[in-house]
Chains A and B, each alone.
Chain A
Amino acid sequence: MKEFSGKGLSKYSGKDGMPAYIAYRGVVYNVTNSFLWKNGKHQVLHEAGRDLTAELDDAPHGPDLLERVPTIGALKD
């Protein structure tokens, strides 16, 4: 499984043709093909290329929705 640093993850913002990856509790997910993550943005407020653990805890949905997108690696501390 590929490992990402925070800086490495930030490259995958979903912008300028880059894939869109997000992290949650140490797992990196590929949301590039998700309708809800177009251009690396989700519901106006959330951006790809970041660890969204804290933001997801405040979201109107649980982490179970992440099961719908593929995992691509792990986020290093």
Chain B
Amino acid sequence: MAKVAREVVERAGVNVDQLVELLVKNAAAELTTFYYYTILRVNLIGLEGEGVKEIAETARIEDRNHFEALVPRIYELGGELPANMKEFHDISACPPAPLPKNPNNVKDILKVLVEAERCAVRGYSQICSMTAGKDHRTYDLALAILNEEIEHESWFSEFLGEGPSGHFLRRGETSPFVGKFMK
């Protein structure tokens, strides 16, 4: 634990135990999403599915990166991950993102993907609101993750015909915002 780092956050008025619990729940959401997205990506096949596969893969890898980036902050603040993987899954901040009943329906898969991203956007928005001006390091991390989650949402939303995402897919490395926390 980073004792002084935790103290300054507490002194700034943040309930650190609540914050840590939220970080753990969101870390669980990232890792479980990585798992579920693996299955979704595998099933994105055919003329329609192959066109979505690349962004599903990018989102999958970046969600794993979010997990990797969150873990150090959890331990710095005196938290820890559950010892039991099932418990970790069940405390996730977002519901499971299972393969739809008809895995050949790409639109149904996209709905699962966009719903997962929207849950993540809400979660990191909440953490940003809790930490803004009080816990600079967690805020910086949550904001970086939020930037990527918003992009993921907009990609899947675009494929669902909800409007243009406004930007291009990744070129080269993944996690342009969160990468600095992983070096």
Interface residues of A (CB under 8 A from B): 35-36, 38, 43-45, 59-61
Contacts of B95 in A (CB 8 A): 35-36
Given contacts A43-B22, A60-B121, 9 further A-B contacts (CB under 8 A): A35-B96, A43-B25, A43-B123, A44-B21, A45-B22, A59-B126, A60-B122, A60-B126, A60-B129
B126's partner among A36, A38, A43 (CB-CB below 8 A) is A43
Counting CB contacts under 8 A, is B113 at the interface?
Answer: no
Contacts of A59 in B (CB 8 A): 122, 126
Counting CB contacts under 8 A, is B93 at the interface?
Answer: yes
22 contacts between A and B (CB under 8 A): A35-B92, A35-B95, A35-B96, A36-B93, A36-B94, A38-B90, A43-B22, A43-B25, A43-B93, A43-B123, A43-B126, A44-B18, A44-B22, A45-B18, A45-B22, A59-B126, A60-B121, A60-B122, A60-B123, A60-B125, A60-B126, A61-B122
Closest beta carbon of chain B to A41's beta carbon, Å? 10
| A-contacting residues, B97-126, CB 8 Å | 121-123, 125-126
Contacts of A60 in B (CB 8 A): 121-123, 125-126, 129
Q: When A and B form their complex, which 4 residue pairs have the shortest distance between CB atoms, in order from nearest?
A: A35-B95, A60-B125, A60-B122, A44-B21
Instruction: Indicate with 1 or 0, residue by residue over B119-151, a CB within 8 angstroms of chain A CB atoms.
Output: 001110110010000000000000000000000
Interface residues of B (CB under 8 A from A): 18, 21-22, 25, 90-96, 121-123, 125-126, 129
Closest beta carbon of chain A to B100's beta carbon, Å? 17
Interface SS majority for chain A: loop
**A35-B96, A36-B95 as given contacts; A44 in contact with B25, CB under 8 Å:** yes
Which residue of chain B has the shortest Cβ distance to A58 in the bound complex? B129
Which residue of chain B has the shortest Cβ distance to A42 in the bound complex? B93
Contacts of A44 in B (CB 8 A): 18, 21-22, 25
Compute how far the CA of A36 lies from the CA of B90 in the bound complex, rounded to whole angstroms: 10
Closest beta carbon of chain A to B97's beta carbon, Å? 11
Compute how far the CA of A61 lies from the CA of B25 in the bound complex, rounded to whole angstroms: 18
Compute how far the CA of A59 lies from the CA of B127 in the bound complex, rounded to whole angstroms: 11
Which residue of chain B has the shortest Cβ distance to A61 in the bound complex? B122
Compute how far the CA of A45 lies from the CA of B18 in the bound complex, rounded to whole angstroms: 7
Contacts of A36 in B (CB 8 A): 93-95
Contacts of A38 in B (CB 8 A): 90-91
Closest beta carbon of chain B to A40's beta carbon, Å? 14
